Structure 1
Amino acid sequence: MCSHYQAEKRRHFYEKRFGIKLPPDWEPPRGSGGLHVYPTQFAPIVRRPPECDSGDEAVPDFDVVDARFGLLPGFATEVKYGTRTYNARSETVATLASFKQAWAKARHCVVPCEAIYEPDWRTGTHIPTRFTAVDGGQVALDV
Structure 2
Amino acid sequence: MCAHYDPQTDPAQLKAYFGVHDLPLGLKPSLWPGYHGPFLRKHEFADVGDEAVPFRELLVGSFGLIPHWAKDTTIARNTYNARSETVHEKPSYRDAWRLARHCIIPAEAFYEPDWRTGRAVPTRISRADGKPMGIAGLWSIWKNPGGETTYSYTMLTINADQHPLMRQFHKPDDEKRSIVILHEQDYDGWLQASVSDSRRFLYAYPADNLVAENPQQPLL
- TM-score w.r.t. the length of structure 2 is 0.58
Deviates more, 1:45-54 or 1:92-101: 45-54
Q: Rg: which structure is higher?
A: 2
Tell me the distance in 2 between the aligned counterparts of 1:76 and 1:125. 35
Of Structure 1 and Structure 2, the greater strand share is in: 2
Classify the secondary structure of the residue corresponding to 1:75: coil
Tell me the distance in 2 between the aligned counterparts of 1:124 and 1:73. 37
Classify the secondary structure of the residue corresponding to 1:37: coil
Q: Which residue of 1 aligns with 2:102?
A: 108
Q: Which residue of 1 aligns with 2:33?
A: 39
Q: Which residue of 2 aligns with 1:131?
A: 125
- TM-score w.r.t. the length of structure 1 is 0.86
Tell me the distance in 2 between the aligned counterparts of 1:95 and 1:26. 34
Tell me the distance in 2 between the aligned counterparts of 1:73 and 1:129. 31
Which runs of structure 2 are paired with 1:1-143 in the superposition (5 Å)?
1-20=1-20, 22-23=21-22, 26-27=24-25, 29-30=27-28, 35-143=29-137
Tell me the distance in 2 between the aligned counterparts of 1:88 and 1:50. 23
RCO comparison, higher one (Cα < 8 Å, 6+): 1
Tell me the distance in 2 between the aligned counterparts of 1:120 and 1:78. 33
Gaps of 5+ in 2: 138-220
Identity of aligned residues (%): 39
Gaps of 5+ in 1: none
Q: CA deviation at 1:64?
A: 1.1
Please list the CA deviations of residues 39-97 of structure 1 after superposition, one character each: whole Å capped at 9, or x if unmatched.
11111111111111122221111111111101111121121101111111111100111
